[in-house]
Structure 1
Amino acid sequence: MKLTTKGRYAVMAMADLARYGTGRPVALADIAERQEISLSYLEQLFAKLRRGDLVKSVRGPGGGYLLSRHADEIRISDVILAVDEPLKATRCEVGSPKGCMGNSSSRCITHDLWAELSHQIHLFLGSVSLGDVINGRVTASQGRPDQQAISNAAD
């Protein structure tokens, strides 16, 4: 499964807003500069984030964007879904009578594996908040005992 630029940039921008927007609006130009994201692309993303009720806009001098709720209340999955990013690893459409195998209605042999992976990704991203991200409460799997055992077994 590949998370596209749209989803990654939306999460990066929202994390930046959570970090630097402590009670005051943050200009998209500032986020664009810090995160090295095109301003016009951010404008498109923030229009979707505003429609998804994740941010509020403030007009005028000193204007910009604010989180609509506290960073600990905004889940990463909310951000990704607000910008229309699918969280799926299967190639078939949810609810479609078409299966994974082209024109037929049959599923590929690994369909359940990828469907479960999609579910696990959604659960994980739904368990992580912007607050977790900006406060360092999400760590890479390096150094975790379960990952060390897997790494040692591979050697």
Structure 2
Amino acid sequence: MKISTKGRYGLTIMMELAAKFGEGPTSLKSIAEKHQLSEHYLEQLVAPLRNAGLVKSVRGAYGGYILSKSPDQLTAGDVIRVLEGPISPVDFTEEDDPAKRDLWMRIRDSIAEVLDSTTLASLNMFKDEGKNDNYMFYI
């Protein structure tokens, strides 16, 4: 299963809203500028998130979007399923070889377990602790 830009950018939106949770609405323009993304594309992604009840829109001059629940109640799995559909590494049927079908099901269940146990709050804590794979080299 490969997560497309829809899932990755949707998760970016949700992490930004989680970081600002309780501070009022956040505009898509500010998220787009911060991450150098297309505001128009983010508008297309936020619609299904709103329809699924993960975010709420606030109209007005200081409007934008807010999470519908606290960041520790929303998971990466919630976001990915809305934007990418069901989690499955491959399409398999009952006619498939039982050993292969079992493998695909275990992989699917492992991916789902990681996504469903990762909250937006935990993603932001990980980000804030500065854990990344970037290295700084000095010459």
Q: TM-score range by the shorter chain?
A: 0.7 to 0.9
Counterpart position of 2:136: none
The CA distance in 2 between the partners of 1:31 and 1:8, in whole Å, is 13
In 1: Cα distance, 2:81 partner to 2:23 partner: 25
**TM-score of the aligned structures, taking structure 1 as reference length:** 0.75
Q: Secondary structure at the match of 1:88?
A: coil
Instruction: For 2:96 and 2:65, locate their aligned partners in 1 and report how far apart those are by CA, in whole Å.
Output: 44
Other-structure match for 2:105: 115
Identity among equivalent pairs (%) = 37
Identify the residue that residue 8 of structure 1 maps to in structure 2.
8
Distance 1:139 1:115, change over 3 A: farther
Alignment of 1:58-137 (within 5 A): 58-92=58-92, 99=93, 106-108=95-97, 110-136=100-126
* 8 Å Cα contact 1:4/1:85 also seen in 2: no
Moved over 3 A (4+): 137-140
The 8 Å contact of residues 72 and 132 in structure 1, kept in 2 or not, is answered as yes
Distance 2:84 2:77 in 1: 11
Alpha-carbon distance in 2 for matches of 1:133, 1:37: 20
Offset at 1:139?
9.8
| Residues 34-89 of structure 1: CA deviation (Å, up to 9, x unaligned) | 12221111111111011111111000101000011110010111111122433111
| Residues 129-155 of structure 1: per-residue CA shift (max 9 Å, x gap) | 000011128998x9xxxxxxxxxxxxx
Other structure's SS at 1:65 match? strand
Alpha-carbon distance in structure 2 between the residues aligned to 1:125 and 1:139: 21
Superposed CA RMSD in Å reads 2.3
Q: How many equivalent residue pairs?
A: 130
Partner of 1:146: none
Unaligned segments of structure 2, at least 5 residues:
134-139
Alpha-carbon distance between aligned partners in 1 of 2:119 and 2:130, rounded to the nearest angstrom: 13
Q: Distance in 2 between matches of 1:91 and 1:112?
A: 12
